[in-house]
Structures are given as C-alpha cells and as structure tokens.
Amino acid sequence: MKTIFIKIKIFLITTCLISTIWSCKAQTNVINITEWCNNQTSETNGSLYLKDINNLYAPYLGTWKWTEGNREFTLTLLKQTKYHYNQGIDNYYEDRIVGYYTYKENGVELINTSNDDLADDYSLNVKFTFDCYSDLTGIIDDVFKNKRYLSWFEIISPTQIRFKGKEEEDGRIQKEGMPPPPVVYVGNSFPLDMVLTKQ
C-alpha cells in the first residue's frame, strides 16, 4: 500500500513538472506595439506578440476617400489582430493594419487592389503598423506604375487623415519567388500628399 502511494505521488509530481514546463514554453511575450524598439525579444521563436494594447489603430480603420477634379482615390483599412508571421526566420505575432484601394480618373478605374490576399505575410499592396515613435507607417504599392511607396498617416480630425508617400530608393515591387519586375514607370498614379475623408 505504501509503495502504491509513493508511485502515485511520483506520478503526480512528474505530471505537474511536465505541465509547468509546457506552459512556460507556450507562454507569449506580449509587448505594446509602440514599445517594440525598447525590447530585445526574439522574432523567431513564436513567443512574441506585438499588440495594439492602447487601441491606437482604431482612428485609422474604415473607408477613406480623396477626390480632386476628375481623380478619385478610395482606401479601406482593416485591423488584423494577432496575425502570425511565419515565413523564413520570422515567427511572431502582430496586430497590423492591411487594406486595399481603388484609383479612378474620369470615372475609369485604373487600379483596384480589393482582390488582394490580406492573409499574406509580406507581399501586400497596403500594410501599416506603428513604429517606435507611435507614427503609423507602412507601404502602399502603386500597382499601375509598379512602384512601392513608404507611407505615413496623420490624423487631422475624426473624419480626416492626411496620407503622405515617398518612393523607396529602389521602389520596384518585387513579389517573393517572382522574376525581377520591369523598369519602373516615371511619376506616380495618385498624389503622394492628400487629405482623405472618412466615408
């Protein structure tokens, strides 16, 4: 009887130890998305979660529109919560903003990225996150001109945001696994400084 009691006790202690080890390994390091630069947590072991703890993304979400003369740019921004980046050496989670846009001239649609796969890791035409200074930064691709723009948003009011873009040094859009893109066209399709109104 004493031997059975000792075996049960050893079994329970072993089970508790294994359970504790597993729960520690599965633990996630939750870091406020704007404090990422102040932390040295690994982006490769699947334990990091860059979270929008203060709900900073909320004012940017929705559909925004800019019109001037015969030109019209409509941008839709959506939040993805705890998106899992798991490609190459990257293995971490992040709250991020993704989206799509349309651009028209004289009523003719020249660009429409609404069929983009928003579950993609890196090959998105519209993707934003907060940098270390609490600025919403990211990329918007001009798919008509085959260019990529580093982009920023500034909140003017609850119903207006200002978009600014700057062409990357080698701003050609290069999708993973695809051949090199063609020569970049001169100029840009839509303005790189515009005020958009919430719809």
Report the distance separating Cα 135 and Cα 155, nearest Å: 10
Share of the chain above pLDDT 90, in %: 51
What is residue 63's predicted lDDT score, i.e. its pLDDT? 98
Total-model pTM: 0.77
| Least confident window among 2-6, 32-36, 56-60 | 2-6
Q: What pLDDT, on the 0 to 100 scale, is given for residue 42? A: 75
DSSP notation for 4-63? HHHHHHHHHHHHHHHHHHHHHHT--EEEEGGGGGG----SSSS-EEEE-TT-TTGGG-EE
pLDDT at 19: 44
Strand partners, 94: 50, 83
Higher pLDDT, 55 or 22: 55
- Assess whether pLDDT exceeds 90 at residue 6: no
pLDDT tens-digit profile of 115-154?
A: 999 988 777 889 998 877 677 889 999 988 888 899 999 9
CA dist., res. 151 & res. 96, Å (int): 15
- The structural domains of the chain, with segments of one domain joined by +, span 55-198
More confident residue, 23 or 191: 191
As a whole number of angstroms, the distance between CA 54 and CA 56 comes to: 5
Question: How many residues belong to the chain?
Answer: 199
Minimum mean pLDDT range among 7-21, 26-40, 42-56, 142-156: 7-21
Joined tokens for residue 14: 């072993």
Q: 64: which DSSP letter?
A: E
pLDDT tier, 36 (very low <50, low <70, confident <90, very high otherwise): confident
Name the phi and psi angles at 171, rounded to 5: -80, 10
| pLDDT over threshold 80, residue 94 | yes
> What average pLDDT does this structure show over 39-50?
82
